[in-house]
Amino acid sequence: MIYKSNETVKNAAMRVAELMTAAARTAPKACGIDVIETILLDGEDKDKLTAVMWEIGEATNKSFFIRDAGNHRLS
């Protein structure tokens, strides 16, 4: 079987993201209370989140939302 580099890089990145999610869920929590929820997004779902982050930044004049939306778009 032949695996192209763009596919393997995407698969590797998703595996790392899954491991990071597991690490966040299993990390010690304040007072032992687990209120963390994590999600992984790609494709159109990632683009939708980026657009919402940008809109929130413009609507609230919070520059960090716009900055983070820009970073998110490039990720």
Q: Cβ distance 40 to 14 under 8 Å?
A: yes
**CA nearest to 17, candidates 40, 51, 35:** 40
For the segment 35-39, the average pLDDT, to the nearest whole number, is: 86
> Could you tell me which residues come within 8 angstroms of residue 44 by beta carbon, excluding any fewer than 6 positions away?
none
Give pTM, 2 decimals.
0.68
Scanning the structure block, which residue is given the tokens 């304040």? 30
**Given pLDDT bands bounded at 50, 70 and 90, which one contains residue 58?**
very high
**Given pLDDT bands bounded at 50, 70 and 90, which one contains residue 26?**
confident
